[in-house]
Amino acid sequence: MQASGGGTRDLTVETVSELGEFGLVERITRALPTTDVVLVGPGDDAAEISVGGTLVVSTDVLVDQRHFRRDWSTAHEVGRKSAASNLSDINAMGGHATALTLGLAVPGDLPVAWVDELVRGVVEECALVGAAVVGGDVTASDTLVIAVTVVGEATRTVRRSGAQVGDVVAVAGTLGLAGAGFAALSRGFRSPRAAVEAHRVPHPPYGSGETGADAGATAMIDVSDGLLGDLGHVARASGVQIDLSSEHVPIESAVITVAEALGRHPVSFVLTGGDDYALAATFPPEAALPDDWYPIGAVVAVPAGDQPRVTVDGLPWDGETGHEHFR
């Protein structure tokens, strides 16, 4: 049976509860490839990984119906997105990922085939950066939850707190597509394809974190919750104001199509849409931007009586700046 994101489950298919915890763990680990940096992989109390440079670590948790929907996405797509959201964090530090652990809290009636496809998606996404799945955990839960921890290394890490007045603000990757795809799916549409697929499986600009670090980036962040919201973290951490130029922010044709259909301005998706996992960074004005980065604004001093924030064309943004949990 081919695993899918929705539809009626074939009752003849083995479920997680029928296979059991240890059977599920063994099934998952049998399918995992390895790499040269993995000294001890799945099967012990912890993995052993050989790491050079600075160790960088990040964790994300994805919850069914909040971060993904099984009626919108296949298990394979959910797996790729689960890995991508974490691998992107290492990218945003100017590093590259080497290993990943996968924690699964799953309902007992979940088909084992769904888990197989999820793991296949995680492994395929990790392969894009040369990382290996080295362990994890499985437990029972009424709600499907996926927890991923990724380990990487960096020769030179880039934090959020280093932006300086006069720096150029630049972006690597695509903005607005995933947000437009979410909006389309929320209205029952399955097109435009480029936007819908970007929501289901993001395409972080892997490697751009390292090229940005090598070019002298002073601050960097990945765009998971919206460009305005995420650059706001940089502005506050660095004690500066960031001004974006709307005319320099590229807009994909699929974003324009969704915006026209929903009566929204397309730039709103670019500025506030999340889940694309593009990178945003600041660079000294004399730095030569790598080919995979393009300028969209500047770092300026915080006006007297004001506070660190992001403006658009010199003005405050009127509306939400992106996604925020518990709001």
How far from 324 is each of 51, 66, 231, 321, CA to CA, in Å?
33, 12, 14, 9
How far from 302 is each of 312, 314, 318, CA to CA, in Å?
14, 12, 19
**Binding site annotation covers 137?**
yes
**Binding site annotation covers 246?**
no
**Binding site annotation covers 67?**
yes
**Binding site annotation covers 58?**
yes
The DSSP call for residue 151 is E
**Binding site annotation covers 222?**
yes
CA angle 286, 287, 289 (to 5 degrees): 135
Strand, helix or coil for residue 149: strand
Burial class (CB in 10 A: 0-12, 13-18, 19+), 235: buried
**Binding site annotation covers 313?**
no
| Other beta carbons within 10 Å of 6 | 11
**Binding site annotation covers 136?**
yes
Is 153 in contact with 96 (CB distance < 8 Å)? yes
**Binding site annotation covers 276?**
no
Question: Distance (Å, rounded) from C-alpha 129 to C-alpha 206?
Answer: 7
Tokens standing for 188? Answer: 């029952």
Q: Which of 64, 92, 70 is CA-nearest to residue 279?
A: 92
Question: Distance (Å, rounded) from C-alpha 158 to C-alpha 223?
Answer: 15
Question: Distance (Å, rounded) from C-alpha 16 to C-alpha 114?
Answer: 9
**Binding site annotation covers 59?**
yes
Name the one residue in this structure whose structure tokens are 């109390």.
Answer: 45
**Binding site annotation covers 89?**
yes
Strand, helix or coil for residue 291: coil
Name 222's bridge partners. 279
Which residue ranges make up the annotated binding site for Mg(2+)? 45, 58-60, 89, 137, 222, 225
Which residue ranges make up the annotated binding site? 45, 58-60, 67, 89, 136-137, 160, 222, 224-225, 275
Which residue ranges make up the annotated binding site for ATP? 136-137, 160, 224
Which residue ranges make up the annotated binding site for substrate? 67, 275
